[in-house]
């Protein structure tokens, strides 16, 4: 975790705290590190000296607001600025709790107001087209083709995050119970269902995987050399399927997770159940998927309400 670009030991202490105590994912730690490095660089210029410390009285609310203003002038999106403010607040709160600074200067600063952004997702027709294409790739019975179908089936059929699929091993799948154990954000484990279609795809893929693997208990998804398939490769494979079958719309692996949630809710699934399946901590995070069409809502009303005729 040591990084020579960060000269002040408080940042390293904070990152170690996040890794050890809160068990945040490596990508989250990387984001915090990048945000705090930017804050350090800004403050050095803003204060006009390189010898400042976090307890310096000039590192105040105005300084943190000035940092946000500088981010805005660089053309960063409101969502990115809000994330950087959250990183600064969390870090400064840590220093305050550790009694290294007298107060948290970022505590009362308001984040930019964000628009509620609906996640990209596929229509039912798009999903059918995507899996028709993936099935076609698997028919060649090659490692690449059968692996592509497994990737698409688990991302959509089980609603996995990219990181969860990337880190999965064969031993995490219970084919008899039709379920899978995954490790989500914050190193939290959960059990997700696995569809019959996904199990068939895995059965077709396993012989090709066994031809190249180095260890029978290795990663579920492997490359041609038998090593774990990279996140970037999984993303590229999924994106290619989406572009070939559903049109080039810039959708990523997350579009399949979004579609998983959206289609469950459209079919009448309970919001709390979908929350558990997705591994969300907050129900409000799951509620973003409740963007069902007005036509469907009217159809439900006309079917269910006794005075709708």
Q: What is the pLDDT of residues 81-138, one digit of tens each?
A: 888 998 999 999 999 999 999 988 888 888 777 655 555 678 888 888 889 989 999 9
Q: What is the pLDDT of residue 293?
A: 44
Enzyme catalytic residues: 161, 185, 254, 257, 280, 289
Q: What is the pLDDT of residue 296?
A: 55
Strand order in the sheet with 173-174: 173-174, 179-183, 189-193
What span, in angstroms and rounded, lies between the C-alpha atoms of 58 and 41? 15
Q: What is the pLDDT of residues 248-290, one digit of tens each?
A: 466 778 888 888 888 888 888 888 888 888 888 777 767 666 6
Q: Where in the chain is the domain with CATH 1.10.150?
A: 9-97
* Position with higher pLDDT, 124 vs 162: 162
Q: Where in the chain is the domain with CATH 1.10.443.10?
A: 124-256
* Position with higher pLDDT, 307 vs 271: 271
CATH number, span 9-97: 1.10.150
Q: What is the pLDDT of residue 15?
A: 92
Give 197's contacts (C-beta < 8 A, 6+ positions apart). Answer: 131, 153, 157
What span, in angstroms and rounded, lies between the C-alpha atoms of 224 and 226? 6
Where is mean pLDDT largest: 150-154, 217-221, 284-288?
Answer: 150-154
What span, in angstroms and rounded, lies between the C-alpha atoms of 162 and 165? 5
Give Cα separations from 150 to 47, 95, 158 (angstroms).
54, 45, 11
Give Cα separations from 98 to 89, 91, 95, 165 (angstroms).
14, 11, 5, 37
Of all residues in the chain, what percent carry a pLDDT higher than 70? 86
- CATH class assigned to 124-256: mainly alpha
| DSSP symbols for 112-153 | PPPP-PPPP---HHHHHHHHHHHHHHHTT--HHHHHHHHHHH
What span, in angstroms and rounded, lies between the C-alpha atoms of 182 and 277? 11
Where is mean pLDDT largest: 114-123, 223-232, 240-249, 296-305?
Answer: 223-232
3-class SS of residue 189: strand
Q: What is the pLDDT of residue 154?
A: 96
What span, in angstroms and rounded, lies between the C-alpha atoms of 152 and 242? 10
Q: What is the pLDDT of residue 1?
A: 41
Give 256's contacts (C-beta < 8 A, 6+ positions apart). Answer: 122, 152, 155, 156, 238
* Position with higher pLDDT, 70 vs 22: 70
């Amino acid at each position: 975790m040591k990084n020579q670009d960060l000269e002040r030991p408080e940042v390293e202490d904070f990152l170690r705290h996040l890794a050890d105590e809160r068990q945040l994912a490596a990508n989250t730690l990387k984001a915090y590190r990048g945000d705090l490095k930017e804050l350090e660089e800004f403050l050095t210029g803003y204060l006009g000296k390189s010898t400042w410390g976090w307890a310096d009285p000039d590192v105040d609310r105005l300084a943190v607001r000035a940092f946000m203003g500088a981010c805005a002038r660089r053309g960063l999106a409101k969502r990115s600025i809000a994330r950087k403010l959250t990183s600064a607040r969390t870090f400064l709160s840590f220093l305050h709790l550790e009694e290294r600074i007298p107060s948290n200067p970022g505590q009362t600063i308001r984040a930019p107001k964000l628009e509620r952004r609906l996640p990209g997702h596929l229509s039912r027709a798009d999903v059918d087209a995507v899996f028709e294409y993936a099935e076609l790739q698997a028919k060649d019975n090659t490692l690449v083709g059968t692996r592509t179908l497994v990737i698409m089936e688990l991302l959509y059929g089980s609603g996995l995050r990219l990181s969860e699929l990337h880190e999965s091993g064969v031993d995490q799948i219970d084919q008899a119970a039709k379920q899978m154990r995954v490790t989500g954000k914050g190193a939290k484990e959960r059990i997700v269902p696995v569809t019959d279609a996904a199990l068939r795809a895995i059965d077709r893929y396993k012989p090709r995987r066994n031809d190249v693997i180095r260890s029978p208990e290795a990663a579920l998804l492997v490359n041609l050399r038998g090593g774990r398939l990279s996140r970037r490769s999984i993303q590229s494979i999924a994106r290619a399927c989406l572009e070939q079958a559903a049109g080039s719309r810039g959708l990523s692996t997350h579009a399949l997770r979004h579609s998983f949630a959206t289609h469950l809710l459209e079919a009448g699934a309970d919001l709390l159940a979908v929350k558990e399946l997705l591994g969300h901590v907050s129900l409000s995070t799951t509620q973003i998927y409740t963007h069902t069409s007005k036509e469907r809502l009217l159809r439900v009303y006309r079917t269910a309400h006794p005075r709708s005729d």
